Amino acid sequence: MSLDVAAESQALEPPPDPARHYRVLGLPALADRLWRVLLVLAAVIFAACGPAHALGKTDLVYFASLIGLALSAIAVPLGLFGLRKQPPSDHT
């Protein structure tokens, strides 16, 4: 008889909500998170070019500058696309 009571109580309970910790990031939200990382990485590369140039590594400085410019060129459009992200709603 206890099995019937358990089956009835399970049948009356609503289905559990999906996990709340899982969220799908849209493209604007992903771009908003990514552009800062790329821009900081480009700034670090540009900062490393000074000591490398002082040590006479001009080829390294040339290629590092190109990589930094490419990262910056990717980060700016991503930042502009990230502006399309909707602000979080205040639904509680």
> What pLDDT, in 10s, does the model give residues 3-49?
566 666 666 666 666 666 666 668 888 888 899 999 999 999 999 99
Closest among 37, 34, 38, 28 to 72, alpha carbons compared:
38
Count helices and strands in the chain by DSSP H and E runs: 3, 0
Confirm if 15 and 69 have CB atoms less than 8 A apart. Answer: no
Residue 3 lies in a domain: no
Residue 53, in any domain of the structure: yes
Give a yes or no: residue 11 inside a domain. no
Is residue 91 one of the residues assigned to a domain? no
User: Does the residue 15 lie in any domain?
Assistant: no
Task: Please determine, for residue 70, whether its predicted confidence score (pLDDT) is greater than 90.
Answer: yes
Q: Would you say residue 31 lies in a domain?
A: yes
Residue range(s) defining the domain that contains residue 61: 25-85
Q: How far apart are CA 77 and CA 83, in angstroms?
A: 10
Does residue 47 lie within any of the structural domains?
yes
Q: Against a cut of 0.75, is the pTM above it? A: no
Dist. CA 60–CA 34, nearest whole Å: 26
Q: What's the structural domain count of the chain? A: 1
